[in-house]
Amino acid sequence: MKNMKKILEELDSRDRIAISGHIRPDGDCVGSCMGLYLYLKKTLPTAQVDVYLEKPAPVFSCIDRLEEIKTDCSAEIVYDVCIAVDTAADRLGDAEKYFRAAKKTINIDHHVSNMQGCGMVNYVNPAASSASELVYELMEEELMDASIAKALYIGIIHDTGVFQYSNTTPHTLTIAAKLIGYGMDFPKLINETFYEKTYVQNHVLGRALLESILFMDGRCIVSVIDKKTMEFYNAEPKDMDGIVSQLRITKGVECAIFMYQTGQQEYKVSLRSNGKVDVAEVAAYFGGGGHVRAAGCTMRGTYHDCINNLSLHIEKQLDSYEEEVK
């Protein structure tokens, strides 16, 4: 692995630099991209730095200069450097063209499904809790400030479920401790960006829980929200965040599946595991990816087809796990 401090040395103060994260950006994606953006704006004031993301959820408006995010990728620009953060190039959405055309590409990611990295220079570490943790490691401490710290802290709390998931390490907590040292109202940030739900989100969550089905002898749980239901509640894809986490904590469950409809016979699938199933492997089989305990993919077919196909892989893994421990 390339010395991480060297990665930012790849950048020059005369460069045109683009930063982008994955489609449907989550807290880590927004936090890591914005943390890096704020840092580069500060440390390379003469460079042109642009950050491209799909419009983040309103809760992230507490991040400074969030309004500077570019959502329109129609301009034809050849950047000197394009940095993909929290993803491989194939999930950059419209900004993928800037990555493909850039003279130099850098990839900062923590997805086990992207071990090789997609850049000319890569900083990929699946042991990291979040891309925000990796972005923090690239920065010189004396050049950090409260705005950068807040963006990265939000990223870390989102990908660790407020330091609850098993991806939280002593190193993660050390970084978080340093970040809150820059001064921020962290209980408010945690509450307003992570726990707080809109009325619509609570309605859809309630509906998804009510209609969830336990199967595989209670080891697996699934729930589906179709387009009609989303329209009924006036819910957007962003409002589906967190539903799968609630399904995962059902007693006895090893693996949770949540799907919402994105098109005619097309579903966005979220998978969560309590450890026995490697859901990154399951998702990768269907063209997606992620982490061992949290992964996703998009699937085509009826939702019954999707569940049947997923179950085969999940059951195989559960059976072989149980066989091994016997």
Interface mask toward Mn ion for 121-140; x: CB under 5 A: ---------xx---------
CA 97 to chain centroid: 20
Binder among 86, 239, 241, 254 for Mn ion (CB under 5 A): 86
**The entry of ligand AMP, Mn ion, none that residue 96 binds, CB within 5 to 8 Å by partner kind:** none
Contact status: 109 vs Mn ion (CB under 5 A)? no
Closest CA to 208 of 257, 158, 277: 257
Contact status: 15 vs Mn ion (CB under 5 A)? no
Give the number of residues written for the chain: 326
Closest CA to 287 of 297, 277, 278, 279: 297
Residue 258: CB minimum distance to Mn ion, A: 16
Which of 50, 133 has the CB closer to Mn ion? 133
For Mn ion, which residue has the nearest CB? 28
**The entry of ligand AMP, Mn ion, none that residue 293 binds, CB within 5 to 8 Å by partner kind:** none
Q: How far apart are CA 299 and CA 208, in angstroms?
A: 19
The contacts of residue 177 (CB under 8 Å, 6+ apart) are none
Tokens linked to 181: 């040292």
Beta strands in 226-305 (DSSP E): 255-263, 266-273, 289-290, 294-300
Which of 148, 155 has the CB closer to ligand AMP? 155
Which of 111, 313 has the CB closer to Mn ion? 111
Which residues of this protein are in contact with ligand AMP, per CB under 6 A?
A: 22, 91, 111, 113, 244, 270, 288-291, 294-297
Contact status: 54 vs Mn ion (CB under 5 A)? no
Which of 198, 245 has the CB closer to ligand AMP? 245
Contact status: 28 vs Mn ion (CB under 5 A)? yes
Cβ pair 149, 112 in contact under 8 A: no
Cβ pair 229, 248 in contact under 8 A: no
Contact status: 29 vs Mn ion (CB under 5 A)? yes
